[in-house]
Amino acid sequence: MGNASKAGGLNYASQSKVTFYVADMFTGLKALAMTQIPYHNWNGINAKSFSDYFKTITDAAGRNYGNRYAELFEDMEYDLGRGWFVNLTDGFYVSEAGSVKNLSVKITPESQKDGIFLKKLTSAAYVNTNNKTVSDSVAAGAKIGTRKVKAYVSPFTVSMDGVKTTMGQFNGSGAISIGIASPDYGYVVGDVVSSTEGYYQEYGITSEAGGYYHPQLIENSNYSKTLNKTGFNTIIPSGRIVDNNNPTTNYYYPLQINQINNESGEKQFRGKTDSDFLGCTGIRKSTTATETALNFFAGAPELVLTDKSSGKRPLSLRTNRDDFSVEPRTGLSRIVSQAEDFFYALSKDKETSPYVTVTNSAKNAIYSFSINLLVSPEQENVNYKTSKITLEFIFSIQALQPTFTWKTSTPTSPGRWLVFDDAEVRIYGGGYATGGYTTNPTDSVTVSGESIYRKVTINN
């Protein structure tokens, strides 16, 4: 059995190593996040500098991406596997009698250490920075956010595509990807605090009703009367991210009204046959999951629950904002911080720290570790040689910069990554150590020839 990469043709190997440059996942998303700039407004914003960026990067045919945002998202997500999920491998196959074909596989960590890393990476367990035993149960872990012990949860998950062909259905024969899975999606219900505010709406709520709701509760005919009785004037689709160190503190990302209003009238469809009710494809007719995710986590501001009253509503969801000369907090900024926290925690956790290499510290830190996986046929009685794949993760905090700008903490506000401080994009890939980079996330290599996103080494 072997695994293969599409980059530069299909390479088949029974053993291979994929080096994944974690910072590229986020700097690539920063490039895509700049499509969201029309929904933002702050003192001194230069929206044109962000839209001009897309005129400077080109596709494989040499056409620039200026005003071709849908194509950029599609090229990134569908062709390159570089979006909200990033492909680490492209597929698993068996080579038999000179032909390469799909088959159903099972994946096993090579050693206990590899299993522990997978478990923590996929958010099945907390990572402990203080060498204290933390329960594997995330729910139980909710009790742990004290001053003595900090426990962080991964913002990532790992995914595996199945493959369906005319030859059949093959479990796990597709790509292995790493994705951002900390958010969930639902609704924010409340009263808009200021109906004349064009950006960053805030919502008045009460302690009995309003706030974030699960769609399963909202999308129920029996609940519609209850919703009407609340008297709230707004219900908006919203993302939510839990604080990575305190599962009882959440951050909310309701779409802005200027995003909801952005539907142009095209791509409409009717509800039931002959229905008068029309639907549309949300936010700029997004055709990719990555764009949808960034609508919530780059196009909308972060809100937090406060006891600030609004009219007759005693509580409110307010922008988590301390400086009106820069962007409001966003979900992407929150996720980058959570990834940084997670890798730092891996380097301190007693189960993983012996296997994590750390170079430099703080905003110059570089973390690396490897996970070995064995891939074998799902059917026990099939006699194919087991394939081994090594996934090496390298996360250079330095390589996040200057694409992201670190805004240091103040006495009243914690530090945070700025997404929209400027239109700079640098994808360092393997150039994280030498300084080589490219500004185009659809490129294969940096200007000095290092692979970006991932480097595949076969028969290592």
332-391: contacts with another protein (CB under 8 A): 378
Residue placing its CB nearer to another protein in the complex, 290 or 320: 290
Are 433 and 24 in contact by the 8 Å Cβ rule? The answer is no
Other beta carbons within 10 angstroms of residue 376's beta carbon come to: 18
Please say whether the beta carbons of 17 and 389 come within 8 A: yes
- Closest distance of CB 227 from another protein, Å: 4
Among 50, 85, 251, 417, binds another protein (CB under 8 A): 85
From 3, 27, 89, 177, residue interacting with another protein (rule: CB under 8 A): 177
User: Which one, 46 or 169, has the nearer CB to another protein?
Assistant: 169
The interface with another protein within residues 113-132 (CB under 8 A) comprises 115, 118-119, 122-124
Query: Measuring CA to CA, how many Å separate 379 from each of 3, 95, 104, 324, 385?
Result: 18, 16, 8, 59, 13
DSSP letter assigned to residue 410: B
**244 touching another protein, by CB under 8 A:** yes
Q: How far apart are CA 279 and CA 296, in angstroms?
A: 19
When asked if residue 159 is in the footprint of another protein (CB under 8 A), the reply is yes
Which residues, listed in sequence order, are joined to residue 185 by a DSSP beta bridge? 239
Tell me if 186 contacts another protein by CB under 8 A.
Answer: yes
Q: Is the alpha carbon torsion for 47, 49, 55, 60 positive or negative?
A: negative
Task: Determine the interface stretch with another protein among 12-20, 26-34, 159-167, 385-393 (rule: CB under 8 A).
Answer: 159-167
Contact call for residues 189 and 232 (beta carbons, < 8 A): yes
Q: Which stretch binds another protein (CB under 8 A): 60-68, 274-282, 326-334, 398-406?
A: 274-282
Q: Which stretch binds another protein (CB under 8 A): 6-14, 45-53, 186-194, 433-441?
A: 186-194
* Stretch touching another protein by CB under 8 A, among 40-48, 93-101, 174-182, 347-355: 174-182
- Write down the H helix ranges in 324-392: 331-346
Minimum distance of another protein from residue 155's CB (angstroms)? 7
Piece in contact with another protein (CB under 8 A), picked from 10-18, 200-208, 353-361, 433-441: 200-208
Q: Does 135 bind another protein (CB under 8 A)?
A: no
3-state secondary structure of 236: strand
Is 226 within 8 Å of 246 (Cβ atoms)?
Answer: no
Out of 7, 209, 358, 365, the only residue in the binding site for another protein (CB under 8 A) is 209
Give the end-to-end CA distance of the chain in Å, rounded to a whole number: 15
Residue 224 CB contacts under 8 Å (≥ 6 apart), including other chains? none
Q: How far apart are CA 53 and CA 45, in angstroms?
A: 15
If binding is defined by CB under 8 A, does position 22 make contact with another protein? no
Give the residue, chosen from 84, 251, 404, 420, that forms a contact with another protein under the rule CB under 8 A.
84
Specify the stretch interacting with another protein by CB under 8 A; choose among 17-25, 72-80, 94-102, 389-397: 72-80
**200 vs 428, beta carbon nearer another protein:** 200
Residue number with CB closer to another protein (16 or 154): 154
Q: Is 77 in the site for another protein (CB under 8 A)?
A: yes
Q: Judged by CB under 8 A, does residue 210 bind another protein?
A: yes
56-64, 134-142, 407-415, 436-444 -> range binding another protein (CB under 8 A): 134-142
Stretch 283-302 residues interacting with another protein (CB under 8 A): 283, 285-290, 292-293
Which residue's CB is nearer to another protein, number 106 or number 132? Answer: 106
List the interface residues with another protein, window 400-459 (CB under 8 A): none
Binding mask 214-243 for another protein (x = CB under 8 A): xxxxxxxx-xxxxxxxx-xxxxxx--x-x-
Q: Does 59 bind another protein (CB under 8 A)?
A: no
Distance set, CA 339 to CA 154, 253, 293, 366 (Å): 7, 19, 17, 13
Q: Which of 2, 183, 204, 430 binds another protein (CB under 8 A)?
A: 183
Using CB under 8 A, count the residues that bind another protein: 125
Q: Where are the beta strands (DSSP E) in 47-193?
A: 85-87, 91-96, 99-102, 105-109, 127-128, 151-152, 156-160, 163-165, 168-170, 176-180, 184-192
Sign of the torsion angle spanned by Cα atoms 33, 36, 40, 42: positive
User: Quick one: angle between helices 289-297 and 22-33, nearest 10?
Assistant: 80
Pick one of 12, 42, 185, 355: the residue that binds another protein (CB under 8 A).
185
Residue with tokens 């980059």: 7
* 149 is a site residue for another protein (CB under 8 A): no
Give the chain's radius of gyration (CA, Å): 23
Q: Looking at residues 27 to 56 of the shown chain, list those that interact with another protein (rule: CB under 8 A).
A: none
Q: Which residues contact 284 (CB under 8 A, 6 or more apart)?
A: 69, 70, 262, 291, 295
> Which residue among 50, 53, 213, 393 contacts another protein (CB under 8 A)?
213
